[in-house]
Amino acid sequence: MLIGPPGSGKGTQARMLQEKHGFEVIRTGTYLREMAAGSGPESAALRAIMDNGDLAPPPMVTRMIINKLAETLKKAGKVVFDGSPRTLYEAELLYEAIERMKVKNAYVIYFGNLDQRETRERVSKRYFCDKCAKPYVSVSEKCPVCGGAMKRRRDDDPEAHENRWEEFDFRTRPVVSYFRRKKMVIDIDAKGTIEEVAARVEKAVAGIARSD
């Protein structure tokens, strides 16, 4: 599980683990954004919550990620959660599911040592391809990989970003404490360049593999 404040680089590092180390990634934010983009009253309600930078309803998210975990573990042996669990409620249910499914080597990589000023600066420069979801920091008009349009995430707006930090402080920090008590947390210094952080994440993952 990758946990950190908004703009801490979790998504980018999840992608690195996927491309270099063969992990399947369960991206809660992406699934939720897909659902929010749908039609119907449920999608509209979810869209309103997320555009504001608020967290999606935990029972819905939890149901979704546990189903996804069972499904993904059947296909691939190694799974990374990018963006879950965000609340203590999700954490407790996910932990139960992990125990039930007898998943070994379950860890939380915590992206720490960041402040809001820093991440606001980071996300103000971030763009995503609308088609293949590849992240970019520069602004070209089209995605160099697939030609899709470049978009910013609505929840990267300064106001939503601040709100997401508040949600993180109040609702996600207890998750980190919860897993800390279970001795599952590996702390990563998330300051520095993408490459520097990637090297720290790789070291952590190599450590887990060695203890296997």
Q: Are strands 150-151 and 127-129 parallel, antiparallel or unpaired?
A: antiparallel
- Looking at 10-18, 70-78, 92-100, 123-131, which segment touches Zn ion (CB under 5 A)? 123-131
Return the bridge partners of 81, or none. Answer: 26
103 binds Zn ion (CB under 5 A): no
The answer to whether 23 and 17 are in contact (CB under 8 A) is yes
Residue closer to Zn ion by CB (options 60, 149) is 149
Question: What sign does the dihedral 12-15-21-26 (CA atoms) show?
Answer: positive
Tokens 């915590």: give the residue: 110
First to last CA, the chain: 17
- Looking at 1-9, 116-124, 129-137, 175-183, which segment touches Zn ion (CB under 5 A)? 129-137
Residue closer to Zn ion by CB (options 107, 128) is 128
- Looking at 37-45, 147-155, 170-178, 191-199, which segment touches Zn ion (CB under 5 A)? 147-155
135 binds Zn ion (CB under 5 A): no
- Looking at 40-48, 55-63, 130-138, 171-179, which segment touches Zn ion (CB under 5 A)? 130-138
76 binds Zn ion (CB under 5 A): no
149 binds Zn ion (CB under 5 A): no
User: Contact with Zn ion (CB under 5 A): which of 70, 101, 132, 206?
Assistant: 132
| Residue 148, Ramachandran bin (φ over 0: left; ψ between -120 and 50: alpha; else beta) | beta
146 binds Zn ion (CB under 5 A): yes
Find the angle CA(62)-CA(50)-CA(56) to the nearest 5 degrees: 20
143 binds Zn ion (CB under 5 A): yes
145 binds Zn ion (CB under 5 A): yes
Return the bridge partners of 135, or none. Answer: 128
148 binds Zn ion (CB under 5 A): yes
Which structure tokens are listed for 70? 């069972």
Residue closer to Zn ion by CB (options 70, 146) is 146
The Cα 137–Cα 187 span in angstroms is: 25
Interacting residues with Zn ion (CB under 5 A):
129, 131-132, 134, 143, 145-146, 148
